[in-house]
Structure 1
């Protein structure tokens, strides 16, 4: 009886996966005005492969490059999806066949798993193409901090810790570290009457003082 039971489980999992795909496709079409193609194309939309899910281009490139030459990968700010463009449609088809439903990253529990869902699309919408134009008021200061300062800042972040506290929280696709005050995501603000015991690290104060001395900020 083991084989039929396994077969039933596989069929149930397949139906659940297809239902998930239909739900995502409907969302992308209606909310994002994306044109999803039923026929193979060179361009794949990768749901859960975007910056909003804390996924980087460097993670996606070797994964998809295993199936052929890539023209480029477009990451969209504040979006949960990205676009992978192949030089050949056959390569895109193979990638979709092998990577649709791929577990890119396992979370602390199943709700935090980063699972990729792939769709064919004819083009990357022009409104979503990356732009080199800087936002109004943006000032870029090259090499503002040294490599040593960068390393010291990274040491402030917990790596691989399973513990959670007020200053270290877990979101759906990423872990966050709070300094000074805990950011309350339910109210989208901090409670100024309830500061964190460790305060703000001196490494951050040094950066803020330098920014103040250069006239980049007038207070902190």
Structure 2
């Protein structure tokens, strides 16, 4: 269900030329219908090669067939009809046009891991329920009692060295740009505790400016993410800027607030890691 190389538009009206891709409204995770159920149902008309999120609402999807005749059959049979297999919902369908795009779309259906073993990046570990609900409320009350420093899209509080950005407050929809924490500034281990709201963190492996690999993991409230070794030194980490995340076919809206505690130790001396192509300490060696 990956749409990295394409995007879809929905022509107004049903009189446009038929295509292999159907825009289906009143159908999706927000109304309790998973991608798996959608694919199973629409596969009765022919081979479905992809199910894609049409927008952030979670109520509209793009169904892609391998054959035009299958899309036409599904359109004729289902448009405007009650579908008992999909909760009795009335589907509103249009043909959708596939267009090439030049860059990765943050809203595509990248598979999202729930545990770090699924992510399979050396050095990245996620610990669920690292603190209790009571401890979470105590920490949130503590940071809210102190002044925040406003950045361009989020707020921070500093503890110790100001460069650390150790507490971040994320309004809904605001994420974090892809980056690797500076090698020369911080030691190997970086820990990040998520409070209040959930989000997806994506990891990207780049070579010569191009993204080679993309993986993502779901960070629930009260979880602790540990970054070390390869995962810390050579993978960019990133929180997409959006208000709705799709996690294994389910729509999860971001809360009105998310706070992260990020713990780093200041490095003494240059970094000597084995990931020299990403290391600012070893650029001139």
Higher normalized helix content (fraction of residues): 1
Structures share fold, TM-score greater than 0.5: no
Please give the TM-score of this superposition, normalised by the length of structure 2. 0.33
The structure whose RCO (Cα within 8 Å, separation 6+) is larger is 2
Q: Which has the higher strand share?
A: 2
Q: Taking structure 1 as the reference length, what is the TM-score of the superposition?
A: 0.41
